Structure 1
Amino acid sequence: MTGDAPANGMTDHAQGVLEIVGPDIEGSLAFYAALGFEVARRSGTFAVVHRGDLRLFLAQDDNAATAPRWTSLRVMVVDVDALHDDARARGVAILHSPQDRPFGLREFVVRDPNGLDIRFCQPIASMP
């Protein structure tokens, strides 16, 4: 990657959207509506909801577990050490590095293929 060019198809406006899968789309829609989310789009057992710029995908799978889950995503960012050195020069893996935290942030982390985590972040040094 050279200069300020975005990485393979990513732009300054790329957005990650968390998809939450459960066995009851109507119950999910009612819950998120109670939190002030509005339905942007609905197609059977899939919906896109948003509150301001925050967008979530909701989907139904009749076999989805409803047990409590430890979930993370976070994201924010405008550098976190140049998106942790372009996700360790694209070999990714990581699962922590940069740091700072308690809890003016900075962070990093990453995990997925489907163990989720993620967390990038920033503020600290960018806080006035």
Structure 2
Amino acid sequence: MTVRRVVPNVQSETVQESREFYGLLGFEQVMNHGWIMTMASPSSPAAQVSFTAGDKTAPVTPDMSVEVDDVDAAYAAMRGSGAEILHPLQDEEWGVRRFFVRDPNGRVINVLGHR
């Protein structure tokens, strides 16, 4: 399994202000679903940060997203380890397959792959 990118998810009620602030640092908006917006570096597209008011389909908001090349293998590994799954593996309408798991520090991790 290969990690493609890691993105911090910042819980925010000030998405527009965040877009402007991070724009001053050179980030550009690359995704906006209304409830989550992602900014990325044009020169290094995997350097990203997301701002979210809450998650659309899950009961909790993740602290971080980790994109992997095989989300099914990641899910099997986490279940096999006994890790706490907070949101089951499922396909989302916006084109990702994902699940949420709690890390040893109590952080909620959104593990995803693009379909």
TM-score, structure 1 as length reference? 0.40
The structure with higher relative contact order (CA 8 Å, sep 6+) is 2
Higher strand share: 2
TM-score, structure 2 as length reference? 0.43
